[in-house]
Chains A and B, each alone.
Chain A
Amino acid sequence: MSTDTPAGPTDEPSRAELAARVAELEEELADLGEDVAAAQTEEKMVIVATQGTLDMAYPPLILASTAAAFGYDVTVFHTFWGLEILHEDHASELSLSAVGNPNLSVPNAVAALPGMDAVTSRMMRQKIDDENVASVEELIQTSLDTGVDLQACQMTMELFDYEETAFFEGVTTGVGAATAFQEMAEADIQLLV
């Protein structure tokens, strides 16, 4: 019965060798842990903001300021109508149309009447104010104060004839798609709004 007990091989690693190997692996694991921690401290989000209506100005600004509070490095690249959000004179006058918007209970035939966009926008702005939701300008200022990089696409600035001085102080200009793409490639979160 006892004859099938294998004789111990002589090249079996000693206890000391095993202990050394364990110590080596523990060290490697600790290094990996540090790498992971370092990667986590450099979390980054990039949002591309393409819309300039009152309702669509909110999601990028709210997410940007929130992500900054989470310690993220945040960039919002504004292109096409998204530039309106950064425009110092236009930001407080962003509008909203009820035409083709089934979420607003105004028939299209009525919504298309002259002056109706202004009425709809005023009602929305009033509602925002009544509910103590921050204004677009307030969110822009908060975003800038918390280190969010608000960028204005150079190509659309030229398309719309906007000078750098038309935007809020602190807005980054002179950037294009390549810059935005490079930042998106490095980011953990990329959103198109």
Chain B
Amino acid sequence: MSSTVDAAETLDVQGQNCPMPVVKTKQAVDELDADGVLEVLATDPGSVSDIAGWAESADEFELVDQSEDGDIYRHYVRRTA
């Protein structure tokens, strides 16, 4: 599934810890046009639960996909409005 996601931008937060993956994802996705998808590359294992929970609670964003590739967690977040 993840290979079919066409991301407009990529945010690299590898090496950064809580709360930065969520905080920086929000800042980056705010910059996107409606329907744009942000790809987030993280190494923080907590980012899986944190980004999913954050996206679920937000009206204007949605989680498209999450995958684990070795030590790297890939998150795809779409701006819906």
Contacts and interface: CB of A to CB of B under 8 A. Distances in A.
Question: Do these two chains really belong together in a complex?
Answer: yes
Interface of A: 62, 65-66, 68-71, 131-134, 142, 145-146
A91 B23 CA distance: 21
A65 B57 contact: no
Given A66-B19, A70-B58, A134-B16, 7 more contacts: A65-B23, A131-B17, A133-B18, A134-B20, A142-B20, A146-B26, A146-B27
Contact of B22 (A69, A132, A134): A69
Contacts of B16: 132, 134
A131 B54 CA distance: 23
6 contacts: A62-B19, A66-B22, A69-B19, A69-B54, A131-B17, A134-B17
Interface residues of B, number: 14
B45 interface: no
A146 B25 CA distance: 12
A142 B18 CA distance: 13
Contacts of A146: 23, 26-27
Interface string B8-22: 000000011111101
A65 B42 CA distance: 18
B58 A71 contact: yes
A132 B15 contact: yes
Contacts of A71: 58
Contacts of B57: 70
Nearest to A43: B57
